């Protein structure tokens, strides 16, 4: 006897039959991998923005900034813990205005305040060590992997001829005192990132590439001195800004070999969160493809000038200025987000940090209730299913069908991500192995995870998994994400406006053998 969930999904599948259906062969080249991600590719950010960070007559941050966030919230802890582990980047626009309440001669620890002539319209602020202790209590009990963004402007002065250019050497003393305190408390740091959006022309402030590279060497030496065990020594990341080829190439050359572990860049390719066309851009594969050139160029810079470093998307919320209200937190945003995960992985990016875990309109968790938004579950499924070896996956159908393949993280075999951005066409997908085996490949069963919006409304905050709404348990735990078990001889039915993860056990891919 079929369960209610299976019956619901059968009804939903039958309703989809009234929409035009197209058969597609998706070819997976499993002989060799084309790229490799980090095991913890999925990353989310925590930001410094205070309550009065407002844009477009809205203030979407509430109590979600680092200084105000309820670190004892059970949903928050469970949401982080579910990834086992989740990579978290602590940083953002105000990062280079934050000092740390530690070290000799420290007299006061000011709060961030609105200031019309301040950078981003705010004054400098201070992180009390008691707050840092509270944050690490959360990180410790949830097993999070932490990237901490350091203030890279301390000690510099504004240029007399260019108001955005900051000159002079970095004064590292306060950052050093902070790191010494962190080590003394036994807090685990996966990586330190140097500055935020100071590369190229900068956002509000900039530092020349040669100077930045010189200071990055200093940071690397400080980290090596404080963390002498190579097994626990944090990585050093930078520049955490928008890609500018000339600047990035000079930076890699000036910092030299084996200094930068991760070359971090930011992506906000959807434009402003206030743009009325945002919902359409998210569903336009031709528009989404435009950013691929940036990913390719970053990879080229690394190959030529920094082969010791890995490419990271250090921050990306899709739409800037806190994301789009009614769009960035809905099912529709998954078309952009999951497509970007797939695209960046093919360009050998190691990590993708989503702006934000909580805060703004683009959060993975609702800023007020902490209830997961649809993209949270998409990120969690990626993290659990998609392994680090990336496989070339192609098809000859409409560009509105996006396909990505990896070695499976769970079993011997492969995992696929299929995204249907069309609202009028269903796809019946057959998976083809490009390797010509003598024995025909027989797949008895596969696991499928069909993601659709409640009521068919792509701007819904409620996500259906195989037809069932995903809701927290009574104890505020993340619900179990159960797949449908499907006969391997059947095509994969990818409905209009849906996203499907598929794991195929036993799929013969030599690239996945190791």
Catalytic position from the list 197, 208, 447, 448: 197
315 given a catalytic annotation = yes
Provide the residue count of the chain: 514
SS (H, E, C) 376-422: HHHHHHHHHHEEEEEEEEECCCCCCEEEEEEEECCCCEEEEEEEECC
For 317-368, give the DSSP string. Answer: -SEESS--TTTTTSTTHHHHHHHHHHHHHHTTEEEEEES-SBSSTT-SB-TT
How many whole angstroms separate alpha carbon 199 and alpha carbon 203?
Answer: 8
Closest CA to 299 of 236, 336, 241, 249: 249
How many whole angstroms separate alpha carbon 448 and alpha carbon 451?
Answer: 10
Residue 292, judged by CB atoms within 10 A of its CB (0-12, 13-18, 19+), counts as: middle
Tell me the torsion sign for CA atoms 178, 180, 183, 189: positive
Contacts of 221 (CB under 8 A, 6+ apart): none
SS (H, E, C) 74-139: HHHHHHHHCCCCCEEEECCHHHHHEEECCCCCCCCCCCCCECCCCHHHECCEEECHHHHHHHHHHH
Which H helix or E strand runs over 468?
Answer: strand 468-469
How many whole angstroms separate alpha carbon 11 and alpha carbon 4?
Answer: 11
Cβ(356)–Cβ(364) under 8 Å? yes
Cβ(311)–Cβ(265) under 8 Å? yes
Closest CA to 5 of 481, 382, 402: 481
Q: Which residues of 369-386 are buried (b: 16+ CB within 10 A; e: fewer)?
A: ebbbbbbbbbbbbbbbbb
Structure tokens at 71: 């670190």
Axis-axis angle for helices 292-305, 333-346 (nearest 10): 30
* Preceding peptide of 85 cis, ω within 30°: yes
Catalytic position from the list 193, 208, 315, 448: 315
Pairing type for strands 310-316 and 262-266 reads parallel
22 given a catalytic annotation = no
Contacts of 479 (CB under 8 A, 6+ apart): 470, 471, 472, 473
Greatest CA span in the chain, whole angstroms?
Answer: 78
Beta pairing partners, 67: none
User: Among all residues, which ones are annotated catalytic?
Assistant: 197, 315
């Amino acid at each position: 006897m079929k369960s209610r969930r299976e019956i619901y999904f059968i009804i939903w599948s039958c309703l989809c039959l009234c929409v035009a259906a197209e058969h597609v062969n998706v070819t997976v080249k499993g002989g060799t991998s084309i790229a490799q991600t980090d095991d913890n590719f999925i990353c989310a950010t925590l930001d410094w923005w205070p309550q009065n960070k407002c844009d477009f007559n809205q203030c979407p941050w509430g109590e979600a900034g680092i200084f105000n966030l309820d670190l004892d919230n059970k949903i928050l802890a469970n949401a982080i813990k579910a990834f086992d582990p989740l990579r978290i980047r602590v940083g953002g626009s105000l990062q280079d205005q934050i000092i740390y309440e530690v070290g000799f001669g420290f007299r006061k620890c000011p709060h961030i305040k609105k200031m019309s002539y301040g950078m981003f319209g705010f004054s400098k602020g201070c992180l009390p060590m008691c707050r840092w202790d509270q944050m690490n209590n959360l990180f410790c009990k949830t097993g999070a992997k932490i990237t901490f963004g350091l203030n890279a402007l301390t000690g510099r002065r504004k240029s007399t001829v260019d108001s955005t250019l900051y000159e002079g050497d970095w004064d590292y003393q306060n950052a050093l005192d902070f790191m010494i305190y962190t080590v003394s408390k036994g807090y685990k740091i996966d990586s330190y990132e140097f500055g935020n959006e100071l590369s190229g022309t900068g956002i509000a402030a900039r530092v020349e590439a040669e100077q930045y590279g010189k200071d990055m060497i200093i940071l690397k030496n400080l980290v090596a001195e404080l963390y002498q065990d190579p097994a626990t020594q944090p990585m050093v990341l930078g520049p955490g800004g928008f890609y500018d080829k000339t600047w990035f190439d000079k930076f890699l050359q000036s910092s030299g070999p084996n200094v930068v572990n991760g070359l971090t860049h930011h992506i906000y390719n959807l434009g402003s969160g206030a743009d009325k066309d945002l919902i359409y851009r998210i569903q336009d594969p031709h528009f989404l493809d435009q950013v691929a050139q940036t990913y390719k160029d970053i990879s080229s810079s690394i190959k030529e000038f920094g082969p010791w470093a890995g490419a990271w998307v250090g921050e990306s919320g899709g739409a800037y200025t806190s994301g789009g209200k009614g769009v960035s937190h809905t099912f529709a945003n998954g078309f952009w987000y999951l497509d970007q995960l797939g695209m960046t992985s093919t360009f050998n990016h190691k990590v993708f940090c989503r702006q934000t875990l909580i805060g703004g309109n683009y959060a993975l968790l609702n800023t007020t209730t902490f209830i997961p938004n649809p993209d949270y579950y998409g990120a969690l499924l990626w993290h659990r299913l998609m392994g680090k070896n990336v496989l070339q996956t192609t098809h000859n159908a409409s560009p509105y069908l996006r396909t990505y393949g990896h070695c499976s993280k769970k079993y011997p075999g492969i995992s696929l991500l299929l995204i249907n951005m069309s609202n009028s066409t269903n796809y019946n997908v057959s998976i083809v192995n490009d390797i010509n085996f003598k024995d025909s490949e027989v797949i008895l069963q596969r696991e499928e995870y069909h993601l659709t919006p409640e009521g068919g409304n792509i701007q819904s905050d409620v996500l259906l998994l195989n037809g069932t709404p995903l809701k927290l348990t009574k104890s505020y735990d993340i619900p179990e994400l159960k797949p449908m078990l499907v006969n391997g001889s059947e095509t994969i039915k990818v409905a209009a406006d849906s996203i499907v993860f598929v794991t195929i056990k036993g799929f013969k891919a030599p690239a996945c053998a190791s």
